[in-house]
Structures are given as structure tokens and as C-alpha cells.
Homo-oligomer: A and B are copies of this chain.
């Protein structure tokens, strides 16, 4: 981990609920996974108490409805076991918002499951999920959504783009190698934490069988647009060559093959640690903001183009802004705000001028993993 660029600062999300309020799409994907989680939990050994972990949970907002549903299901079925929920993210995460949301002190109290149900204990862990985060064999079910595309370190800055999915072969290979190593660390850590019979369900951003990924599903290409506006800021002299380069996302979208590789090799450390892949499939989730726009009649309908642009850009901004802000580190805050606003305003103006094909569809690779003896 000593080489490469440390990503702790890069990954700081905007706090105070900003992330979860602007990620309706992520929440929908997670809610759909609730049934899978309930079925998996029903198949795990009936330990005296349940420990569940949600890895890379940010402020916990996108998965809160799902956990509320899962816990409600258990209680309705007479399963009154005590439940410890461990939310993990980086140390910089906004754990205060998370704790407040679960207790009904912030956000819609309707899903504040800690106050709705007895004997549910909410904990946080501020250590990255590439490491083991709790005692051996203490976890019934691990869950992670839309988090494990982050690499633990950036192996290099990408010279001619800002995302590995669109990078030159050399950069892409470097990110692929880092992501493979991270994935092994992630899986070995979970193998240690899980009880025998425990499950790890993860919904990761990735590349599906048709080569599609987040924001690149046939219409306008989101990351190419990001790159275009960022390059434009360099070309008009607003940012330096170094700032242009530093905006590489600390992300890698693994292909399905890459996700499955450690499970397909019987001699892999992951297999030897007892992990077994029960299923893997891809899932496309249409952009909920575009869906709302189309439902309103699309261009010429009851939602104006600019209103659509103003609904779409914040969902992109919620998770990407930190990358650009970090690339500008060293400038004063007003300067950073002004540049970053210009960047997103350029994207917004393009969408407003011609919304057609602009959207942020999600592509998830969904894995159900079991810890065997």
C-alpha cells in the first residue's frame, strides 16, 4: 500500500445526508436486494443473536429502507433475536448523520429502525473494508452496495481520461491489478469475519455482459462528458496540467469474470478460506431521474429541460464532486467552488440544451457468497 496515491482524502463524501438524498437510484437497487437478504438470512445458522454488517455504507441512507424492511420481516415472523448492525466506511465518513438517521433524529423517521424495533443495536466502524473489521466468525451476514468499486490506492493517475473504464491499456491494466488485489483482500477479510454458513451479498458497480457500466449504457457517455468538461477547463487555462491529471477516479469497474475469478480457481486463497460463490448476475437499473422526465413527456412535456438537468446533475455530483475538489487541493475554497460549479454547470447546460440520452443508469454485478466450513 505504500506505492500509489492514498485515497483516504479522495473518498470523503459530502456529509449531512447529501449523499443519500441524491441517490434515489442506489436506494432502489438496494431495496430490490431486500428479498435476497431475507432469503439468505433464513438459510444461515440460527445463532442466539444476529450480527449484520453493511460495508461502505456512507451515511446509511441508501440502505436504511431495506434494513427496516428486513428487520420488520424478522420481527413479524416472531424472530426476536437481538441484532447488532455494524456500518462501515472510511474514518472520514459522516457517522453522526448515520447514527441520527437510525434513531429518527434526522431524515424520515418512518424507516428509523433502531427506534422502531426493540433490541437493534447500531454500531459504526471507520476502517476501510479491505481489512478485517470485526472478530473472527462473528458475522451472520455481510452486505455491501455500490462501494467496492473504490480501489484502496490509485496505482497511478490516468493520463488521458479520468476513469479506468475509459483509460488507455496501460492505466487500465494497473487499475485492474489493484482491483484484483483489493478484491482478494476484501473477500479474505469477509471469510474471517463470517460464521460458517454466513453470507456476503454485494451489489457492486461493474461491467456487464454487454460491456455496459454506470452512465454508459447506450446513450450519452457520462464519464466521457466528465472528461470533456474537465479537459475544457485545462484547455481554457482554468486548471493546471497537474490538476487535470489528478482527477483520476479511485475506482475500477470489475467485469463479471474479474468478480468471479477467485471463486473459479480451486487453489485460490479465497476458495481455501471457505468462500463459495452461490450466484452472480448483472442488473441494469434505469436512471430514476430520466424515468421521471420521460414519464412527464420528455422533451416538450410538462418537465422543462432545465428542470430535468437540475435533477440529474446533483445525483452525479453527490459522489463525483470530491474527486474534482481533491484535484484542486491547494487552491483556496472560493476558487475551488467556482471551478467545480463551472464544471457541473457545463454538464447541466449540455443536458438542458439537448436532454436526449443523458441519464445515469446503474449497472450492478450482484454476488451471493457463502462461507463454508
Contact = CB atoms under 8 A, between A and B. Distances in A.
A126 interface: yes
Contacts of A171: none
Among A8, A94, A123, A127, the most chain B Cβ lie within 10 Å of the Cβ of: A123
Interface stretch (A66-74, A130-138, A270-278): A130-138
Interface residues of A, number: 32
Interface string A135-146: 110100000000
A121 B135 contact: yes
B105 A8 contact: yes
A91 to B, nearest CB: 4
Contacts of A8: 105
- How often does this chain occur in the complex, in copies? 2
Nearest to A106: B91
A204 interface: no
Interface string A38-52: 000000000001010
> Taking chain A's interface residues, is the majority helix, strand, or loop, or is none over half, making it mixed?
loop
A122 B127 contact: yes
Given A103-B127, A125-B121, A125-B124, A135 B95 contact: no
Interface string A72-105: 0000000000101010000111111011100101
A62 interface: no
Nearest to A8: B105
A114 interface: yes
A121 B96 contact: no
B126 A99 contact: yes
Nearest to A51: B135
A121 B126 contact: no
A100 B132 CA distance: 17
A124 B127 contact: no
Nearest to A86: B123
A96 B92 contact: yes
Complex A-B, nearest 4 residue pairs according to Cβ-Cβ distance, in ascending order? A99-B126, A91-B99, A95-B95, A82-B135
Interface of A: 8, 49, 51, 82, 84, 86, 91-96, 98-100, 103, 105, 114, 119, 121-127, 132-136, 138
11 contacts: A49-B138, A91-B96, A93-B96, A94-B96, A95-B95, A96-B126, A100-B126, A114-B127, A121-B132, A123-B124, A124-B125
Given A84-B134, A95-B99, 11 more contacts: A8-B105, A49-B138, A91-B100, A91-B105, A96-B126, A99-B125, A99-B126, A99-B127, A103-B127, A121-B125, A123-B124
